[in-house]
Structure 1
């Protein structure tokens, strides 16, 4: 039987995957960070036995949530948290947020999101490959983010 990890370890594990070894974090390009997120995405966590309890979200767009407009690629893992009776309580999301300056090429990409759920019977590699075959990937995969932020929030 495979040992499942505690959701409390998720941020630390993602940060460890992002640790660049011989390269400085600010030398990494989008593709390096995406591959690290995919390694993190393959780890099994102890989640409730409920549909969509462990999901991945790939989303991007130009936003000005907490400052000047920025093109943001948000790689998110979402875990369901159950209450004491085993019913849905809330979700916890672990984000790897990549921010870039706004250029005409990035702004032209608009916004996009795609979900993957581990229990849905889909293949993670097929989902990931589909995302990297999008036209947007050709624009962003070699870019260096201006900012990389890893954080957790309750939603």
Structure 2
């Protein structure tokens, strides 16, 4: 079995998947229809994490938030890794985010907010989770051009 990449390499792995789909964060033109398959490929790729249900998770969420100072409807595709200490205890989380931000609009506000987690090694069906989240995107979000996109990593 090939060696799994480290969580520290996740941001570059997602960047590579997005680039292969011609999605370049902070540039105009890319939609979720372009990015979703790239995120799914990234989400299926396993990383070198502990075999515990909370050490490798995917988060799909959307809603209107004011994280950058002004309200924006945001679709956030996230991968979260639980990182342990040298003593094998939980130390912190690392999250890799791919965000699509849209100007607020009545049709987006009508979606309200939503969030769903999937954790590898938790005996859930990943293909079913991806299909359910893709259904949440629907044509309203899949083909809408965002006014901002961002790709970043944070430690929690």
Q: Shared topology, TM-score over 0.5?
A: yes
What are the residue-to-residue correspondences of 1:119-130 with 2, within 5 Å? Answer: 119-130=121-132
- Aligned equivalent of 1:109, options 97, 108, 111: 111
Of residues 43-52 and 92-101 in structure 1, the stretch that sits farther from structure 2 once superposed is 43-52
- The equivalent residue for 1:131 is 133
Please tell me whether the aligned partners of residues 131 and 137 of structure 1 are also in contact (alpha carbons under 8 angstroms): no
Deviation at 1:21, TM superposition (A): 6.1
Q: Between Structure 1 and Structure 2, how many residues are aligned?
A: 154
SS at match of 1:129: helix
Report the CA distance between 1:73 and its aligned residue. 0.3
For residues 37-94 of structure 1, the C-alpha deviation after alignment (integer angstroms, 9 at most, x for no partner) is 1111111100123221100000000011212210000000000000111011111000
CA RMSD of aligned residues (A): 1.7
List structure 1 runs of 4+ shifted beyond 3 angstroms.
Answer: 20-25
Gaps spanning 5+ residues in structure 1: where?
none
> Residue by residue, what CA displacement relative to the aligned partner does 1:87-111 show, whole Å, maximum 9, x if unpaired?
1111100000110111100011100
Q: CA deviation at 1:22?
A: 6.1
Which SS does the other structure have where 1:34 is aligned? helix
- Distance in 2, matches of 1:22 and 1:45, equals 24
Q: Identify the residue that residue 27 of structure 1 maps to in structure 2.
A: 29
Consecutive unaligned residues in structure 2, runs of 5 or more: none
Offset at residue 20 of structure 1 (A): 4.8
Partner of 1:41, secondary structure, is helix
- Report if aligned partners of 1:59, 1:113 keep a CA contact under 8 Å in 2: yes
Q: Give TM-score scaled by structure 2 length.
A: 0.91
Match of 1:16 in 2: 16
Q: Distance in 2 between matches of 1:92 and 1:59?
A: 17
